[in-house]
Amino acid sequence: MSLINEDMQQLLLNYCEPESELLKKIDRETNLKVLMPRMLSGHYQGRVLSMLSKMIRPDRILEVGTFTGYATICLAEGLTETGIIYTLDINEELEEMVRRNFAESPDAEKIKYILGDATKTVHELQETFDLVFIDADKKNNGTYYDLIFDRVRPGGLIIVDNVLWSGKVLNSNPDNDTKNITTFNDKIAADTRVEKMILPVRDGLFIIRKK
């Protein structure tokens, strides 16, 4: 899913912060035990998410799409002392692994893991968010964006993963999944309420700042 070759990827890893032992363990176990392990954010993207979180020092984070908890733990690194990250996911089969991973995190008390349909569970959260990370079912990117937009403070960040879709967004005859990604990207490009840019990190991160 990386947009750059393996040699350059290794060079980038050589010049960024190392993974914690817990993150290494999550990466290893995800690849060994879970279907579609490529959905994991991984070392480099994880450090990007951590850096962005640390730069804005959020008090409240929302993550849509937990998977095995790797990105959650990275984002939690930037939370304030009283901060909370709410992470929403629908996959009950991974619950035991995810809860175990969170329990080992130094930020375990700051992580609130909520199972269920995110389009419904998000309404249970009476919060204003400083940072939102959307990394769930891609066809609903626009739905999640619309649901959370008014809950993000001015100056807050919305980050959306997989917006370059392994480069398929350049295809002249795209499949339906790629069309959905492009439709969402066009939606953000036309939204005058935000400043935005795509970082070609891993599979593409849309960095969106609410004005």
Task: Residue 155: give its domain's CATH number.
Answer: 3.40.50.150
**pLDDT at position 2, please?**
63
**pLDDT at position 1, please?**
56
* Domain enclosing residue 119, as ranges: 6-210
Please indicate, yes or no, if residue 107 is contained in any of the structural domains.
yes
CB atoms closer than 10 angstroms to residue 77: 19
**pLDDT at position 4, please?**
82
**pLDDT at position 5, please?**
86
Please indicate, yes or no, if residue 1 is contained in any of the structural domains.
no
Q: How many domains in the chain? A: 1
**pLDDT at position 3, please?**
75
pLDDT along the chain (211 residues), means of 10: 82 96 98 94 97 98 98 98 98 97 98 97 96 96 98 98 94 94 98 97 96 98
